Amino acid sequence: MKATKVDKDLCIGCGLCCGICGEVFRMNEQGKAEAYQRANAENQGAVQEAADSCPVSAIA
């Protein structure tokens, strides 16, 4: 499974990704999202949904 990445320069800290898939995304101290786990077979759908939902397309 490829590593999920958040572009911190793009992220506006809306928090949507963490709400959709808290197993992979969390907010850091700068108020930006980060992917702290690799996606797995169970949550890859939610990771994709988070990527599709991000308003600034910061998740790849």
Segment 8-47, which members bind ligand F3S (CB under 6 A)?
11-17, 33
Q: Which of 24, 35, 39, 54 binds ligand F3S (CB under 6 A)?
A: 54
**Within its chain, how far is the Cα of 16 from the centroid?**
8
* Residues contacting ligand F3S: total by CB under 6 A: 14
Residue length of the chain: 60
Q: Which is nearer to ligand F3S, 47 or 54 (CB)?
A: 54
Residues near ligand F3S (CB under 6 A): 6, 11-17, 33, 54-56, 58-59
